A and B are shown apart, each in its own frame.
Chain A
Amino acid sequence: MRIIVLCIMLLVAPAVSLSLAAERELKVGFIYVSPVGDAGWSHAHEQARQVIEAMDGVSTSYVEAVAEGPDSERVIQTMARKKFDLIFATSFGYMDSMLKVARQFPDTVFMHCSGFKTAANMGNYFGRIYQPRYLSGLVAGSMSTSGVLGYVAAFPIPEVIRGINAFTLGARAVNPQATVRVVWTKTWYDPAKEKEAAKSLLDVGADVIAQHQDSPGPQEAAQERGVYSIGYNTDMSRFAPKAHLTAPVWNWTSYYRQVVEQVQNRTWKASSDWPGLAEGVVDLAPFGPMVPPAVRERVQAKRAEIVAGRERVFAGPIADQSGTVRIPAGAVATDQELLGMNWFVQGVVGTTE
Chain B
Amino acid sequence: MLRVVRRPASPGWRGALVVSGSALLALAVSLLLLTVQGVSPLTGLKVLVLGAFGSTWAIEDCLLKAIPLFLCSLGVAVAFRLQIWNIGAEGQFALGAIGATWVALSLPGLPKFLLLPLMILAACLAGGLWGLIPAILRQRLGASEIIVTLMGNYIAILLLEFLVYGVWKDPSGFPMTPAFPEAALLGTIGTTSVNWGLAHCLVLGAAVWVLFRFSRFGYELRACGDNVRAARYAGLPYDRLALLVMVLGGGLAGWAGCIEASASLGRLQPSIMAGYGYTAIVVAWLARLSPLYIGLIAFLLAGLRRGRTPAARPAGTGRLRFDHRGTDPADRAGRHLFPHLLHRPGEAAMNAELLVPLFAAAVVSGTPLLYATLGEMCTEKTGVLNLGVEGVMLVGCLAAFVTARLTGSPWLAFVAAGLAGGLFASLHGVVCLVFQGNQVVSGLALTLLGTGLANYLGTGLVGQAAPGFAPLPVPVLAGIPVLGPILFVHDPLVYLSYLLPSLFWLFFTKTRPGLHLRAAGEFPGAAVAAGLNAVACRWVGVVAGGFLMGLGGAYLSLAYTHMWTNNLTAGRGWIAVALVIFAFWRPGRAVFGAYLFGGIMALQLRLQAAGTTLPSSLLLMLPYVLTVAVLVFSSGRRRSAPAPAALGTNIEPPA
Question: Hey, which bits of chain A sit against chain B, CB under 8 A?
Answer: 29, 34-40, 43, 49-50, 53, 60-71, 73-75, 77-79, 81-82, 84, 92-93, 96, 116, 146, 148, 150, 155-158, 161, 181-186, 189-193, 195-197, 199-206, 215-217, 220, 223-227, 238-242, 340, 342, 349-351, 353
**Per-residue interface assignment for chain B, residues 345 to 372, with 1 indicating a CB less than 8 Å from any chain A CB and 0 otherwise:** 1100000011001100100010000000
For the complex with contacts A35-B462, A156-B165, A156-B175, 11 further pairs of A-B residues with Cβ separation under 8 Å are A35-B566, A61-B313, A69-B269, A93-B269, A204-B354, A217-B561, A223-B330, A224-B471, A240-B330, A340-B173, A349-B611
Q: Is the pair A224, B333 in contact by a Cβ cutoff of 8 Å? A: yes
Q: Is the pair B565, A29 in contact by a Cβ cutoff of 8 Å? A: no
Whether a CB of chain A sits under 8 angstroms from the CB of B562 is yes
Q: Is the pair B57, A77 in contact by a Cβ cutoff of 8 Å? A: yes
| Chain B residues, Cβ within 8 Å of A84 | 312
Instruction: Give the distance in Å from the alpha carbon of A49 to the alpha carbon of B316 in the complex.
Output: 12
Tell whether A353 pairs with B459 under 8 Å between CB atoms, given A71-B310, A223-B333: no
| Chain B residues, Cβ within 8 Å of A79 | 310, 312
Whether a CB of chain A sits under 8 angstroms from the CB of B654 is no
Contact of B315 among A61, A66, A223 (CB under 8 A): A61
Instruction: Give the distance in Å from the alpha carbon of A96 to the alpha carbon of B566 in the complex.
Output: 26
Top 3 closest pairs, chain A to chain B, by CB: A69-B271, A35-B462, A37-B463
Q: Is the pair A37, B175 in contact by a Cβ cutoff of 8 Å? A: no
Q: Is the pair B312, A240 in contact by a Cβ cutoff of 8 Å? A: no
Select from chain A the residue with minimum beta-carbon distance to B605. Answer: A200
**Per-residue interface assignment for chain B, residues 37 to 60, with 1 indicating a CB less than 8 Å from any chain A CB and 0 otherwise:** 000000000000000000001000
Instruction: Give the distance in Å from the alpha carbon of A172 to the alpha carbon of B179 in the complex.
Output: 39
Q: Is the pair B343, A202 in contact by a Cβ cutoff of 8 Å? A: yes
> Mostly helix, strand, loop or mixed at chain A's interface?
mixed
Whether a CB of chain A sits under 8 angstroms from the CB of B61 is yes
Q: Is the pair B274, A70 in contact by a Cβ cutoff of 8 Å? A: yes
Whether a CB of chain A sits under 8 angstroms from the CB of B311 is yes
Select from chain A the residue with minimum beta-carbon distance to B68. Answer: A70
Tell whether A226 pairs with B175 under 8 Å between CB atoms, given A78-B312, A183-B609, A189-B565: no
Whether a CB of chain A sits under 8 angstroms from the CB of B266 is yes
Shortest CB-to-CB span from A225 to chain B, Å, is 6
Q: Is the pair A183, B608 in contact by a Cβ cutoff of 8 Å? A: yes
Tell whether A37 pairs with B461 under 8 Å between CB atoms, given A150-B609, A203-B609: yes
Contact of A192 among B264, B460, B560 (CB under 8 A): B560
Q: Is the pair A196, B173 in contact by a Cβ cutoff of 8 Å? A: no
Contact of B602 among A36, A200, A206 (CB under 8 A): A200
20 A-B residue contacts at CB 8 Å? A34-B462, A37-B462, A37-B463, A66-B309, A70-B272, A74-B61, A74-B64, A79-B312, A156-B175, A158-B172, A192-B568, A199-B361, A200-B602, A203-B353, A215-B563, A220-B561, A226-B336, A240-B333, A340-B172, A342-B173
Q: Is the pair A190, B565 in contact by a Cβ cutoff of 8 Å? A: yes
Q: Is the pair A96, B266 in contact by a Cβ cutoff of 8 Å? A: yes
Whether a CB of chain A sits under 8 angstroms from the CB of B17 is no
Select from chain A the residue with minimum beta-carbon distance to B563. Answer: A191
Whether a CB of chain A sits under 8 angstroms from the CB of B314 is yes
Q: Is the pair A197, B315 in contact by a Cβ cutoff of 8 Å? A: no
| Chain B residues, Cβ within 8 Å of A217 | 561, 563
Q: Is the pair B459, A64 in contact by a Cβ cutoff of 8 Å? A: yes
Instruction: Give the distance in Å from the alpha carbon of A43 to the alpha carbon of B333 in the complex.
Output: 23
Instruction: Give the distance in Å from the alpha carbon of A116 to the alpha carbon of B174 in the complex.
Output: 12
| Chain A residues, Cβ within 8 Å of B161 | 186
Q: Is the pair A65, B459 in contact by a Cβ cutoff of 8 Å? A: yes
Q: Is the pair B334, A191 in contact by a Cβ cutoff of 8 Å? A: no
Q: Is the pair A63, B562 in contact by a Cβ cutoff of 8 Å? A: no
Contact of A238 among B266, B328, B357, B609 (CB under 8 A): B328
Instruction: Give the distance in Å from the alpha carbon of A35 to the alpha carbon of B161 in the complex.
Output: 24
A to B contact number (C-beta, < 8 Å): 214
Shortest CB-to-CB span from A160 to chain B, Å, is 10
Q: Is the pair B602, A196 in contact by a Cβ cutoff of 8 Å? A: yes
Shortest CB-to-CB span from B241 to chain A, Å, is 35
Select from chain A the residue with minimum beta-carbon distance to B569. Answer: A192
Whether a CB of chain A sits under 8 angstroms from the CB of B445 is no
Q: Is the pair B343, A225 in contact by a Cβ cutoff of 8 Å? A: yes
Shortest CB-to-CB span from B15 to chain A, Å, is 32
Whether a CB of chain A sits under 8 angstroms from the CB of B234 is no
Shortest CB-to-CB span from B340 to chain A, Å, is 10
Q: Is the pair B173, A35 in contact by a Cβ cutoff of 8 Å? A: no
Contact of B465 among A78, A206, A239 (CB under 8 A): A239
Tell whether A205 pairs with B334 under 8 Å between CB atoms, given A63-B310, A92-B174: no
Contact of B311 among A78, A185, A193 (CB under 8 A): A78
Instruction: Give the distance in Å from the alpha carbon of A98 to the alpha carbon of B172 in the complex.
Output: 18
Instruction: Give the distance in Å from the alpha carbon of A195 to the alpha carbon of B264 in the complex.
Output: 35
Contact of A196 among B314, B330, B343, B605 (CB under 8 A): B605
| Chain B residues, Cβ within 8 Å of A227 | 343
Q: Is the pair B330, A351 in contact by a Cβ cutoff of 8 Å? A: no
| Chain A residues, Cβ within 8 Å of B172 | 116, 158, 340
Q: Is the pair A241, B315 in contact by a Cβ cutoff of 8 Å? A: no
Shortest CB-to-CB span from B571 to chain A, Å, is 11
Whether a CB of chain A sits under 8 angstroms from the CB of B306 is yes
Q: Is the pair B315, A181 in contact by a Cβ cutoff of 8 Å? A: no
| Chain A residues, Cβ within 8 Å of B384 | none
Contact of B175 among A81, A157, A204 (CB under 8 A): A157
Q: Is the pair A199, B357 in contact by a Cβ cutoff of 8 Å? A: yes
Which of A81, A200, A205 neighbours the largest number of chain B CB atoms within 10 Å of its CB? Answer: A200
Instruction: Give the distance in Å from the alpha carbon of A211 to the alpha carbon of B225 in the complex.
Output: 55
Instruction: Give the distance in Å from the alpha carbon of A185 to the alpha carbon of B315 in the complex.
Output: 31
Whether a CB of chain A sits under 8 angstroms from the CB of B475 is no
| Chain A residues, Cβ within 8 Å of B269 | 68-69, 93
Q: Is the pair A61, B568 in contact by a Cβ cutoff of 8 Å? A: no
Q: Is the pair A63, B313 in contact by a Cβ cutoff of 8 Å? A: yes
Q: Is the pair A201, B565 in contact by a Cβ cutoff of 8 Å? A: no
Q: Is the pair A74, B310 in contact by a Cβ cutoff of 8 Å? A: yes
Select from chain A the residue with minimum beta-carbon distance to B170. Answer: A157
Instruction: Give the distance in Å from the alpha carbon of A92 to the alpha carbon of B264 in the complex.
Output: 17
Q: Is the pair A203, B354 in contact by a Cβ cutoff of 8 Å? A: yes
**Per-residue interface assignment for chain B, residues 189 to 200, with 1 indicating a CB less than 8 Å from any chain A CB and 0 otherwise:** 000010000000
| Chain A residues, Cβ within 8 Å of B175 | 155-157, 186
Whether a CB of chain A sits under 8 angstroms from the CB of B108 is no
Contact of A158 among B173, B272, B274 (CB under 8 A): B173
Whether a CB of chain A sits under 8 angstroms from the CB of B260 is yes
Q: Is the pair B315, A200 in contact by a Cβ cutoff of 8 Å? A: no
Q: Is the pair B334, A223 in contact by a Cβ cutoff of 8 Å? A: yes
Instruction: Give the distance in Å from the alpha carbon of A158 to the alpha carbon of B170 in the complex.
Output: 12
Contact of B310 among A78, A96, A193, A202 (CB under 8 A): A78
**Per-residue interface assignment for chain B, residues 432 to 462, with 1 indicating a CB less than 8 Å from any chain A CB and 0 otherwise:** 0000000000000000000000000001111
Instruction: Give the distance in Å from the alpha carbon of A343 to the alpha carbon of B17 in the complex.
Output: 62
| Chain B residues, Cβ within 8 Å of A150 | 609
Q: Is the pair A225, B566 in contact by a Cβ cutoff of 8 Å? A: no
Shortest CB-to-CB span from A302 to chain B, Å, is 28
Contact of A205 among B179, B342, B346, B470 (CB under 8 A): B346
| Chain A residues, Cβ within 8 Å of B342 | 225
Shortest CB-to-CB span from A320 to chain B, Å, is 15
Whether a CB of chain A sits under 8 angstroms from the CB of B653 is no
Tell whether A240 pairs with B463 under 8 Å between CB atoms, given A63-B313, A196-B601: no
Which of B314, B330, B336, B606 neighbours the largest number of chain A CB atoms within 10 Å of its CB? Answer: B330
Contact of A181 among B57, B339, B611 (CB under 8 A): B611
| Chain A residues, Cβ within 8 Å of B568 | 191-192
Shortest CB-to-CB span from A208 to chain B, Å, is 13
B window 133-174: CB within 8 A of A: 161, 165-166, 172-174
**Per-residue interface assignment for chain B, residues 66 to 93, with 1 indicating a CB less than 8 Å from any chain A CB and 0 otherwise:** 0000000000000000000000000000
Q: Is the pair B166, A215 in contact by a Cβ cutoff of 8 Å? A: no
